[in-house]
Amino acid sequence: MPLTISQLMEKMPGAFLPEKAVNVNAVIHFKFTGEEAGEWNAKIADGKCDVAQGAPADKATMTLTADSGDYVKLFTGELDGMQAFMQGKLKLGGDLNLAMKLMQMFKIK
């Protein structure tokens, strides 16, 4: 059975690799469309990743918008991030350098 967005977002802090996020202080706003539409946010600071449902309280450093099914595929490695971006399946706003680092900051299973 495929992962749901809720399961995936709940697993993010455990998959976080703090050594890959040295000096990163960021708030990421996730906007999901499709079957599991909704908003989530992740705050990366001080070697920790905290995830919560809803829009972030602080101004987002980066906003990621994607279909929920495509994001699950992206996070599980079934969909290439650059390819998804080029095809318009993944929309990014704000700090694009952070987007490039993001996939390295998590242990993808």
Q: Please report, for the domain that includes residue 58, its CATH number.
A: 3.30.1050.10
pLDDT at 1: 62
Reduced to 3 states (helix: H, G, I; strand: E, B; else coil), residue 47 is coil
Q: Does residue 109 form part of some domain?
A: no
Structural domains in the chain (count): 1
What pTM did the predictor assign? 0.93
Q: Which residue has the tokens 């390819």?
A: 83
pLDDT above 90 covers what percent of the chain? 82
pLDDT above 70 covers what percent of the chain? 97
For 48, the domain range is 5-104
Q: Does residue 44 form part of some domain?
A: yes
